[in-house]
Amino acid sequence: MLQQKQGFSVASALDFENQAVAMEASDADMMVFPEIGVALVGGEAYESRQMSAQALDTAGPLSVIEPEYFMFSLVSGVTWGLVECNVPPSRFSGKGINVAILDTGLDLGHPDFAGRAIVSNQFVGQPVQDLHGHGTHTTGTACGPLGPAGAAPRYGIAYDAKIFVGKVLNNSGTGTTGTILAGMNWAIANGCHTISMSLSGQIPVQASYTNAGTAALAKGCLMIAASGNASRRPAQIAPTGAPANSPSIMAVAAVNSNLQVAPFSSGGKIEIAGPGVNVYSSYPRPTLYNTLSGTSMATPHVSGVAALWAESDPSLRGSALWAKLQAMAKKLPLPPSDVGSGLVQAP
């Protein structure tokens, strides 16, 4: 029931069944909530006739009279992985840095990559256009846009980097040592500063991959690769696969949003960890976006952050970039064989 108090029309939550106030159904200038001792005044009414709590002893004593403000739903504008890697506050964008993604290719017509500097090549006898999805997802994490088209949250890290897409895995998601080595060779020849490889094979250390990683480091390029998804923790921890098991290639493990090692993440020879569970990123049209899990998703987080560090200091190339990533990683209370130096952190 509306009452008049000092020129205000006043209603109380007591006027509603179980005090379940339907605010939009009330014409009152002021609504009193007696259980909490608060009264809210409509903005215009508050501006024209501010009042004291003591002057309005309506439906019980009041402690607070405040204007009513509009509130808005809070939707995260950044993926959890970027937040945990400290990417949003970074002033770096990967500008001037060449990032190679050796994977299943890229959806070259994806709206989030329109106008980007992209160099591409294929090594599997199929067009670079990604018909699998894996490559578009990993490219998105490493180098996706600062502001995606539409309402998607930010999911990409090095949004100003030049992207080198090497299709070394076919549209079924498979490749060979030859296709991968060809992609490595191409990326080094084209002056890439980082090479991101979200691929793994459960095979021993290959001399060819070790040699390629060493050659890359000598030319100021850092190779970063997924450790593999072969574990079934805690019962079984599989060893890091190739090419990440080579001493000259940085191996990446996956953690979840609680910063615990992912149950599938291979272990042993691990240098660093990245977000790898429920990772949101770009995906081929018409889907546009997808959420995937794997050390494949952790690896481009490290590669994208590596590009930011490389931009921050021209001396951070090859082995120096490797050392910087490990030195600045967020320490985790987990064995180095699970997460290496910890969670990768942006500058």
Domain ranges of the chain: 3-67, 80-339
Q: Is the pLDDT reported for residue 221 higher than 70?
A: yes
CA distance 31 to 27: 9
pLDDT at 21 over 50: yes
Point out the least confidently predicted range of 25-39, 142-156, 241-255, 299-313: 25-39
Query: Where is pLDDT greater, at 37 or 302?
Result: 302
CA angle (22, 25, 30) in 5-degree steps:
80
Residues 57-74 have pLDDT tens digits of 544 565 566 666 544 333
In 162-278, beta strands by DSSP E: 162-167, 194-197, 222-226, 250-255, 272-275
Q: Which residue has the tokens 């405040």?
A: 66
pLDDT value for 29: 73
Q: Which two tokens stand for residue 82?
A: 């970027």
197 strand-pairing partners: 102, 225
User: Under the phi-then-psi rule, with left for phi > 0, alpha for psi from -120 to 50, and beta for the rest, what region is 238?
Assistant: beta
Q: What is the mean pLDDT of the chain?
A: 90
**Residue 160 vs residues 92, 157, 240, 244, 307: alpha-carbon distances, Å:** 9, 9, 31, 27, 10
Give me the numbers of helices (H) and strands (E) for the chain, helices first please: 8, 14
CA 178 to chain centroid, in Å, comes to 31
Based on the residue annotation, tell me whether 296 is a catalytic residue of this protein.
Answer: yes
Cα atoms in the Cβ-side hemisphere of radius 13 Å centred on 272:
29
| Pick from 315, 313, 312, 341: nearest CA to 329 | 341
* Residue 323, helix vs strand vs coil: helix
Burial class (CB in 10 A: 0-12, 13-18, 19+), 15: middle
Which of 12, 29, 90, 103 is catalytic? The answer is 103
Please confirm, yes or no, whether 160 is among the known catalytic residues.
no
Q: pLDDT grade, residue 40 (50/70/90)?
A: confident
CB crowding 286-299: b at 16 or more within 10 Å, else e: eebbbebbbbbbbb
Known catalytic residue at 134: yes
> Which residues face 166 on adjacent strands?
102, 121
pLDDT-derived band at 13 (thresholds 50, 70, 90) equals confident
In this structure, the strands spanning 98-103 and 162-167 are parallel
Residue 3, pLDDT above cutoff 70: no
CATH number belonging to domain 80-339: 3.40.50.200
Query: Rounded CA gap, 203 and 67, in Å?
Result: 67
From the list 296, 301, 303, 338, the catalytic residue is: 296
Per-residue pLDDT tens digits for 318-330 = 999 999 999 999 9
Mean pLDDT of the 336-344 span: 98
Contact 153, 112 (CB under 8 A): no
Q: What percent of the chain has pLDDT over 70?
A: 86
Percentage of the chain lying above the pLDDT 90 cut: 77
Catalytic: which of 12, 90, 112, 134? Answer: 134
**pLDDT at residue 266 is higher than 70:** yes
